[in-house]
Structures are given as C-alpha cells and as structure tokens.
Structure 1
Amino acid sequence: MRALDPGALNLGLKQQYLALSQALLSRCDLYMDVVLNRDGVITLSHLKWGNPHLERNTEEHAVDIGFDLDHGIADQTYFFVRDLTHQHQHHGNDADTIITTQRQERPDDLSWSLEIMYSLYFHIITVKRKENPTEHVRALGILAYLQSYKNIIKRRKDLIQPTLALPEFDDASSKESIKATKDYIDLKLNEQKRNSDNRKSFLLWVVATVFTVVNFTVGFADKALPPNPTVSSVANFLKTNAYVLPALAIAALIYMASNLISKPRYDFKRDVVRMSIAGRVPAVAVALLLGIGMLVICVSFVISLLSN
C-alpha cells in the first residue's frame, strides 16, 4: 500500500490496483464506499446496488421481515474493515460488537457519537458487576479506549459542531471502582486457594500417617487369627469389581480438570441466594434432588455389594 503513495513514483502498481478495484466493483451485487480516517472514525456511504432486480427483491423481503437492510449491511462492512485494520489489545473480537454503525443525519451532525459513548459506558457498568477478574481487566481497557474516543470527538466537535453538548462522566471514579472490585475478587480467590491448599496438605498428612500406622501394626498381628469379615468383603469386592479403582481415578481427574477449566467463583452463598431471589428455586431444587438421588443409589449399590 505504501507503493500507492504518489511520492513512491510507482505508477504501474497504482494503475494495476485501480484496475483491480474496478474489476471487483463490476462484480459486486451491492457495495458501500468506505472512508477510514486517521483518528479512527469510519464513514460509510448509503448502500449501492449493481443489480436492480436483486435490489428490488431484497428490499421487499427486508420490509416484509422488518429488517433494517442499510444498517445491517453497514454493520457487517464496519466489522470487516475493523478486523482488517484494528488490533485487539485489551479484549477479544467479541467485545467489539458493542460498537455498531450510527446514522449521520447531515455532514455536520455528531450526535451519532453520543450513542457509541452510551453503549461503551453501559458495557463497562455491566461488566464490572461480574465476578471474573478477566472481565474487569477488559473493562479497564475499554475505559481507556473510551477516554481516547472522547478526546477525538471533542476535537471534531470544536471543528464541526461546537454547540453539541457532550455528557460528563466520572471516569476516574469508575476506574477506581473497577480496580477495587477486581482487587477484592483477587483477594477472595487467593484466600480460597490458600484454604484449599491447606486442606489438601492436611488430608495428605492424615492419609500418610494412617498408612504408616497400619503398616507398622500389621507386622505384630497374629497370622492365625481369622480375617475381619468387613475387610474380607471389601477385598473380595475390589477383586471382583476391579473397574472401581480406575473409575475413582477417572472421577478425580475429571474433578481436577473441571477446576482448571471452569471459571473461578467467589461469594458462592450470595450467588445461591441471588438465584433464589431471581425465582429459579424450582431449577435449583430439581438439581439438588437429582444429585441426592444419584448419591443414594450409588451408596445403596456399594452397600449391597459389600453385604454379598
């Protein structure tokens, strides 16, 4: 693209590029002219058609289903150009869907910028209520982007529409609030991890101590004594149902993998209360009953096997 600069003195490449552009344009059923400014503001023309028959049928169908065709095509064009020219630093591609194209009533109209500003602030307020620290990092990145966006709009307002009143938002307080929430969640998650590590260490210590004591005392046992019926039943059960031990190992691996894959949570009690308030008591009750029922069935099955 730098070779297309008039100062590059490469007229042959520029002519080929323009010829290719015209060849592609002649094959388009519909298209929009796109102007991407250096400050990041993108302008799209009204939808243009290369096929009158397709235009008539498409517009009639859009009216029948209540679809805003111009806006829909403009959004897809904007997403396409954005993904070609923009590098996502603070968030993923999905977060950029909070910004869509806005209609401009006249050349000196900047009221469309307010709608984008409201959408970004609404997204930040919504994200800051979530319990995932990753979302708060994204919210801080979007807030930094929003501050840059407001500076761009202020410069455009001074040149194009000085009478436009921009809303005032307390960005500093919003930033501190997001950081405070993130720090609190990090603290709770670290505390949960520390408690979990302590419980695991204590459990391993208890198991190791029990095995050591059992192994030490077995050496003094009288070999002539009859074996304990319960121990014999357990041994026979494990011998007959050898799949139980691998199943337990698989269950443990699944549990460990789920802890790595699933998102960390905090204030679980509050979440349960919130679900009850939200009117989802039947779903929670059914899930609990199913879990209890499955546990009872498993316990009764093991007891019956041991008794046999």
Structure 2
Amino acid sequence: MAANEAVDDVLETVAAVAPDVRAGLPGRRLTEAGVENPSGETVTAADVHADELFFEALGAVDGVVEFASEEREAVVDVTNAAGDAGATLSVAIDPLDGSSNLESNNAMGTIVGIADEPLPAAGADLIAAAYILYGPITTMTVAREGTVTTYVIDGGEMQAVEEDVTLPEDPVVYGFGGRVPDWPDAFHDYAREVETELKLRYGGAMVGDVNQVLSYGGIFAYPALSSAPNGKLRLQFEGAPIAKIIEAAGGASSDGEQSLLAVEPTDLHQRVPVHVGNEAYVERLENALAQ
C-alpha cells in the first residue's frame, strides 16, 4: 500500500468514527472515569470512550504501525500489513479535545497527526494533520501536501466544502488560555495590546478556538505560565498538528521562539507553549517575549 493511500485510509477512518464519538457524548456528559491521563488530568468517560473507538478503528488500518493517544501512557505497536510499497504510518491523536466542555455543552473536537517516523515525531515529520470540530455541524479540517481542505462529515463520509483554505488577511479574533495572573509580564503586555485590536473568542476547547482563528483571522495562544513554564498543551497531540494546519493555511506558529514544527520532541507527553495565527501577530508575540 502506498503512503498516500494509507493516509487516505487514516483520514477516512477518523471521519467514519466521528459520528460514533459524537453519539456517545450525551450518556457520558457528567461522568468521570475515575482515573487521570499521563498528563495528570481527570479523564471523563467520554475521553475513554473516544480513545477506545479511535484505537480499535485506526489500529486496524493497513499501513499504520504505531498509535499514540493523549489518554495512553506509551506508544502502542499496531503493526498491520504495510503492502508492497511499505507504508508505515504513526498516528497520534487527542481523542476528545475540550472534554471539560461537556458539562456546559460547548464545543469539543478531535486532533490527529500522521507521521512517517516513529513517535514521538517532530512536527516537521507530519505528512498530514486534521481536526474534527463537534459543533452545530461536524466538520473536519485537513492539512496535506501544503494545502488545507475543510469537509463536512455526514454519515461518516467526508464531503469537501472548502478547498485551499487560508487565514483571512484582516484578523478579527483572539483567544488566550491560562489565568491572567499566571501570565508572564511580557505576554500580559502583548495581550493588552491585542485586546484593543481584536475581538475575544475563547471557548475552552483548542479545536473550537483555533477554528475561529482559521475562519476569521487572528491569534490563539496558550502561553507559558508562571505555574507551568512549558505551557499546558501537548506538542505531539495538540501543538504540532494544529501548527501543521495553520502554517499550511498561510499562518504561523511558535513556541515563543521558533515554529512549533521545528520543536524536537523529547517525550510523548511533552508540553509546549502554543501560539498560532496570522503571521504578523505571531511575529509580534515573539518580539514581545524576546524583550
């Protein structure tokens, strides 16, 4: 199986599982699983359910050799028939981004990174990335071969609705995570400037917040914090795949000093400050943090 065909299969499988993830949310709305994930966060029953669905489906895709999830401690070997062309893909997934929004019935999503290198893989090694947004409509945004396409997922099938997606040139929105008293002074000063120029849009699920930026232009950030110098978001499961999408759409990403795609992973659950959006705003951010 050629690598391109294997990537097709991965993306189609993710789309096919999405309706089942969404359908499983109501009955798991307020239920905790009674465990913590490897990052020390409380896991909901919905997190566990989504993780199991994606693991079972993606682990059966020919050409996929590794599966990693935000909910699992280590990479799982799921080696399947690679075919004559020797497609060997590694898939890293955040099965249910923003699951804390279940209680308030707000947006959630799924984030996927596909690499042709062993995990943890650098963002530069991602050959495709995608996120699903469980909003009023279930959509899937995919970065592949330098372009971004948005699909509607209907009955588990992908239907392209917008090709060659790019960030608007006139930014409109911003969303910054973390408690304001926990922001470093340099980021706090930068945020005070941005809030005079853009509209606040922050919903507590990275997928939803990034989708606002991709739709309207602007910047999303979950910066380094006084209490968490490395930030909160995971490089492998959130930072690198989202950076792949935003950069393919003509935007920029940064850990505060360099593109998130250039950050070398040292651990599967490594955290990293995440800043993504229109290039001018990301450049201003890096300049502000460097002072």
TM-score > 0.5 by shorter chain:
no
Larger radius of gyration: 1
- Range of TM-score over shorter length: under 0.3
Report the TM-score when normalising by structure 2.
0.25
Question: Structure with the greater relative contact order (CA < 8 A, sep ≥ 6): 1 or 2?
Answer: 2
Question: Which structure: greater helix fraction?
Answer: 1
Report the TM-score when normalising by structure 1.
0.24
